[in-house]
Structure 1
Amino acid sequence: MPIQNHIVPKQRKTIRLQEYAIGIFTGIVTKSALKKAIKKHLVFVDGKLASTATPIKGSETITLHEDTKAKTGRVFQKKLEVLFEDEYLAAIHKPAGLLVSGNSFKTVGNALEQNIAHSLMTDATKPRPVHRLDYPTTGVLLVGKTRSGILELNRLFEKKEIDKTYYAVAIGEMKKEGFINVPIDGKEALSHFKIIKSVLSDRFGLLNLVKLSPKTGRRHQLRKHMAHIGNPILGDADYGKAGLILKGKGLYLHAFSVEFTHPFSKENVKIKKELPIKFKKIFNTI
């Protein structure tokens, strides 16, 4: 049964459906979510079953059908710290040990309605995360509250107009500052790092508080890049060096801030979350 329709405005050039349709439907706010809907045969263009490569030129009607197999019922009750909120978007602090989204019941996405106020805008929708943080990573996570808000935040990410800053604890001697330009999964990946402070460690030799700025958004990018230069992030069980993996304390990677021009108010917005206590225990003067 059709649940949402979208009429495509005139396009300057033909574009593939998987590139065009991100954010046009409530709940389909990422490329992966769109691909899943298409794979489940829920998306049609002018009444015909669509594929990711279906060409979009303008004037087409894109229809999203109901997923009759989708799970319904329970609500995930989880208190989240809200760092910023207006009628269009919000930001929360993502705790460690929690998925942002996916098939799991216990996700940030399933807890947002309990923490984010319903928007009063005419295109209000269920709040949705517009990007990802790894399961063990903490920090600032952006959320869209309206269909236009979700679409605009996605566009800002695509244009690389959202500056993200992370802090990590990296193991071993390393350069004070530099770029890591190493492809991930065959795609360009670029990260900048800068040491803020270093302390001696009996077990690890040297621990560095490192400021990280990803210039691209590949999966596990910062973790893979730091491991590539021989300075894995403390607590990284996936990419750490044998014998130097700290257990029981989690991953020392924190999404400290995001900064961007608000797509509607046009004001500069900077949202940050201070470093976790476990960072401060290592670098006790920060």
Structure 2
Amino acid sequence: TESATFLQAKGSGSSPGESGSIGQRLSRVEPRRGQRKGQESSSSQGSQTKLLRQLLSLGPGASLNEVQEVIKTQLERWDDQPKLATVVLKALATEGWPEVAQHVLRIMRAAGVGVNEFHVGCAVNSCQKGGKWQLAAHVLQEMCERQAFPDKYGYNACLSSCEKGGGWQMAMVLIQLMPRKRVAPTHISYGAVISACEKQGEWLLALRLLRNMPEQTLAADVINFAAAISACEKGGQWQSAISLLLEDMPTGDVAPNSICYGAAITACERAGRWEHALSLLSLMLPNRLVPNGRQVGSAANALRSGSGRDSAFSLLQAFRQIWMQQPSQSESLSSALRHVNPPPLDAKGNAEIQVLRIGSGVVALLKPAGMRSEGALRKLSLHCRSAGGFVKDNNNNDTQFTLVSRLDRGTSGVMPVSLGAEGSAATNWLQAQFAGRLVSKEYVALCQGPSLGACGTKGEVTTPLLQVDDLEGQTFRTEISSLGQESTTSYEVVARYLSPKQQAAGSELMLLRVQPRTGRRHQIRVHLASIGRPLVGDGDYGDGAASAVSCPRLFLHCRRVGLQDLGLNDFVVEAPLPPELEEVLATLARAE
């Protein structure tokens, strides 16, 4: 049975928020009595740096015995100087290695080394990166049972893990437990719990938490209000969102920021309340807040649904005049790009990225399959810089490109990019069109499954989609869920093919023309898979390698994009089907 003697930490240790490099933090550690400061500091720093290298070399899946073998020679020093253990645990938190941090705490307890609230805080903080709220809660519970009571940093780290990992019920338990453990909740505590409820559509709980804050002698701040308004937006409570913005915030003497207005506008968009959305937009400018492209586009989408496409574009053009008053280098960058030589070829003689067309404030790239959208943008930036194609902004910095729409790594095709930084007129103009659903996009996809009907058959999938985080805190899957966002995908059967691998009676291959009416991540792939027609080559939502036909990649290509550039000119770009996908179709026999 493990046994441990816990020492009370009275002002010793460092908070989980302590800054500086590992070497800098170690250099501030006090020397042990009887030794010279310089000598001990150098010795401590050297031994701790070596220990950290050894510990990190084990990897995040290191076993308890492996960790013990590395740290056992330092345990006596850690007992005398708790800050040294804090530095190690802080490093593990930065890496996001909660299992290793928990091993360190267990070894410390078993060896009789004092564990204080800072050690616990760091261990819990290590769970945040991956949203491993169950492990964070377990560490808190274990420390409480052993009388090493966590402080506000430990609780807040656990609450943050719950928020990121979807553990809203545990977050609710912890926020109520904190006062009983004589730990006063902070604005950060409430912000994390309200956000956790917001992500799960628990808008009533979010409002209750916001209004319970005065009981803890806390006045809700703008971050707490923003999270609560967003919870109302996701819960379809547009009236409550407006009430918080226009009544509760002024009563609490809290000035709304752009995020608060944006969430309330989106709530009105989802409810089709375009008049209210426009009213909120009109309130931003007098409060010295310039609506961004997404906010204007959100209102424009509501207006488009209620009054038509022309009215929506009229709204965008009104704000275009406001955005154009800001300094911009987009026209200079457009001109410079036209004189830049094409990007270099890869080992197979193909250009990694291609510039298909350049317009006012926008450039259309041909993104190949297997490359992330961010990677394509980075390659374009590097090529322009090396070719002297950049122009300088007013601060003598290179004018930036900004992604306004993304293609999945496995998807090829047309990808429009803004010729301007975030917040520029070019970026706002394009973002407004995408948010307002005023951009036409057409994909070519090959799916498999039961027949959808004869060529020319049209259909639509309208199930809501929810993004789900993986254990590393990165969105990697999209699921059908009633908690998700409104999503619409239209399709038309272009061609039908016999399946070379007859997997089920009536199964065939269908070439579709697909038009996503909304822009959710993995939307086409998830929607078609949800109706039993997964895309060929889709290893995430389909059969992957077990597809009915051999395909070297995901069969999804963005063939056409149409929008307006910053000069109000039609900007329509097309990209033919890549050769590797044409070759797949050439091997198939028509079904009719």
TM, length-normalised to structure 1? 0.68
If each structure's helix is expressed as a fraction of its own residues, which one has the higher value?
Answer: 2
- Tell me whether 1:58 sits opposite 2:287 in the alignment: yes
The aligned counterpart of 1:174 is 452
Deviation at 1:201, TM superposition (A): 2.1
Q: Decide whether the 8 Å contact of 2:414 with 2:575 is kept in 1.
A: yes
User: Structure 1's 140 and 248: CA in aligned 2 closer, same or farther, altered over 3 A?
Assistant: same
Equivalent residue number for residue 412 of structure 2: 138
CA distance in 1, matches of 2:522, 2:464: 12
The amino acid of 2:406's aligned partner reads R
How many residue pairs match? The answer is 220
Aligned to 2:552: 249
Q: Secondary structure at the match of 1:218?
A: coil
> Compared with structure 1, are the counterparts of its residues 119 and 151 closer, same or farther at alpha carbon in structure 2 (3 Å cutoff)?
farther
2:429 and 2:514 map into 1 onto residues whose CA distance is 25
Q: Which runs of 5+ in 2 are unaligned?
A: 1-245, 247-254, 263-283, 291-343, 347-351, 467-483
CA contact (8 A) 2:550 2:584 kept: no
Task: Please say which structure displays the higher CA radius of gyration.
Answer: 2
d(CA) in 1 for partners of 2:572 and 2:260?
28
Matched residues, percent identical?
26
Q: Per-residue CA shift, 1:236-258, capped at 9, x if unaligned? A: 00111487336761100001110
- Of 210, 214, 217, the residue aligned with 2:516 is 214
Mapped contact 1:20–1:56 kept (Cα < 8 A): no
* Counterparts of 1:192 and 1:89, CA distance in 2: 26
- Shift, 1:198, TM fit: 1.0
Distance 1:98 1:225 in 2: 23
Residue identity in the other structure for 2:489:
S
Q: Which runs of 5+ in 1 are unaligned?
A: 1-12, 22-54, 62-76, 102-106
Aligned pair 1:231/2:509, yes or no?
no
- 1:38-187 correspondence runs (5 A): 58-59=287-288, 79-101=352-374, 107-115=375-383, 117-118=389-390, 125-146=399-420, 147-172=424-449, 173-175=451-453, 176-185=457-466, 186-187=484-485
Are 1:233 and 1:240, in contact at CA under 8 Å, matched by a contact in 2? yes
Q: Secondary structure of 1:125's partner?
A: coil
Contact kept, 8 Å, 1:234 with 1:240, in 2: the verdict is yes
| Distance in 1 (alpha carbons) for counterparts of 2:544 and 2:431 | 38
Aligned to 1:4: none
Q: Contact between 1:87 and 1:120, CA under 8 Å: does it hold in 2?
A: no
Return the alpha-carbon distance in structure 2 between the equivalents of residues 157 and 212 of structure 1: 17
The answer to whether the 8 A contact 1:256-1:275 is kept is yes
- Cα 1:115–1:140, aligned 2, differ >3 Å: closer, same or farther? farther
More strand by share: 1
Deviation at 1:17, TM superposition (A): 2.7
Q: Cα distance 1:120–1:259, how it changes in 2: closer, same or farther (>3 A)?
A: farther
> CA–CA distance in 1 between the matches of 2:440 and 2:257?
27
The 3-state SS of whatever aligns with 2:581 is helix
For the aligned residues, what is the CA RMSD?
Answer: 3.2
AA matched with 2:528 = M
Q: Which runs of 4+ in 1 moved over 6 A?
A: 120-124
> Residue 112 of structure 1: CA displacement?
1.8
